[in-house]
């Protein structure tokens, strides 16, 4: 079986735009659901709706893959699953190392979707000596002293960082120095990496803050400029002033 170190996806060399690459997993998720229901074909409109995009954009994206469907029939579901999986590099084995086995790291290790999508958790790494040898998701945690050896022996090219922010850059540097060229960062910090290393950042707090912005804007639109209702921020402050915490009044504005 091929490993991630020796076979890279061909998307860049074939000139597929990054925006299209970002949507391919959405199409694959929708197609996989159709495949599990034994649906043989799907129209561009149906698939676009399931993936949350418009059908014109979907057809344009698929044209980069050389897939145009059949007029009056649509797209062959199984073939598209294979075609997109191949383009994303999911038809081969991608060993992954997760560094930082706290609550988040342990949750990631227990996620059952890795194996079905072509990713194999090769190792779980933590800096706490007390964690060494403890099984998480059936895998024994190893100390960070073993990091470079594990990356070399397992041919790891993808690293997942789930450490506290203060340790993330050092872990990143070690991963890159050992040969990792793709990093998924869950730590709440921006990582500095050299050219040729790809970093994807997942920050749940930022996503929640964006949702809070939209909620505040929707509340303001519902109230209207002449309704006499207090602004969202004022309502929040008033509500906070009415709540009691275990140590007395809660502050109107919580510290960041």
pLDDT of 103 = 94
- Structure-token match 């980069």, residue found: 64
Tens of pLDDT, residue by residue over 186-213, are: 999 999 999 999 999 998 888 899 999 9
Ranking 33-47, 95-109, 193-207, 218-232 by mean pLDDT, the lowest is 218-232
Sorting pLDDT into bands at 50, 70 and 90, what band is 249? very low
Alpha helices in the chain (DSSP H): 18-36, 44-51, 55-64, 77-88, 103-109, 113-116, 147-154, 165-178, 204-223, 232-242
Ranking 49-53, 121-125, 216-220 by mean pLDDT, the lowest is 216-220
pLDDT of 219 = 86
pLDDT of 5 = 45
pLDDT of 224 = 67
Distance of CA 243 to the CA centre of its chain: 36
Residue 84 clears pLDDT 60, i.e. is over it: yes
Token couple for 239: 């509500």
What long-range pairs does 111-116 form, CB within 8 A, spacing at least 24? none
Of residues 130 and 250, the one with the higher pLDDT is 130
Tens of pLDDT, residue by residue over 139-182, are: 999 999 999 999 999 999 999 999 999 999 999 999 999 999 99
Tens of pLDDT, residue by residue over 113-129, are: 787 777 899 999 999 99
CA 106, CA 91: separation in Å to the nearest integer? 26
Residue 81 burial by CB count (10 A; 0-12/13-18/19+): exposed, middle or buried?
middle
198 membership: H or E segment, kind and range: strand 198-201
pLDDT of 93 = 82
CA 201, CA 186: separation in Å to the nearest integer? 6
- Structure-token match 């990582």, residue found: 191
């Amino acid at each position: 079986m091929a490993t991630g170190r020796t076979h890279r996806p061909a998307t860049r060399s074939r000139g597929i735009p990054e925006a299209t690459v970002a949507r391919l997993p959405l199409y694959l998720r929708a197609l996989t659901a159709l495949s599990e229901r034994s649906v043989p074909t799907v129209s561009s409109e149906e698939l676009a709706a399931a993936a949350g995009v418009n059908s014109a954009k979907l057809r344009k994206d698929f044209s980069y893959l050389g897939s145009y469907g059949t007029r009056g029939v649509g797209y062959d579901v199984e073939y598209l699953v294979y075609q997109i999986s191949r383009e994303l590099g999911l038809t081969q084995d991608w060993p992954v190392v997760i560094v930082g086995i706290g609550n988040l790291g342990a949750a990631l290790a227990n996620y059952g979707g890795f194996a079905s999508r072509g990713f194999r958790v090769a190792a779980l790494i933590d800096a706490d000596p007390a964690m060494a040898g403890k099984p998480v998701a059936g895998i024994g945690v190893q100390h960070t002293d073993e990091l470079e050896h594990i990356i070399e022996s397992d041919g790891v090219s993808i690293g997942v960082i789930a450490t506290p922010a203060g340790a993330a850059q050092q872990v990143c540097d070690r991963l890159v120095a050992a040969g990792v060229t793709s990093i998924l960062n869950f730590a709440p910090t921006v990582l500095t990496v050299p050219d040729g290393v790809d970093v994807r950042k997942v920050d749940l707090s930022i996503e929640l803050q964006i949702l809070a912005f939209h909620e505040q804007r929707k509340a303001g639109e519902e109230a209207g400029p002449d309704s006499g209702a207090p602004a969202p921020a004022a309502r929040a402050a008033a509500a906070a002033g009415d709540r009691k915490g275990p140590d007395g009044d809660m502050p109107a504005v919580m510290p960041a």
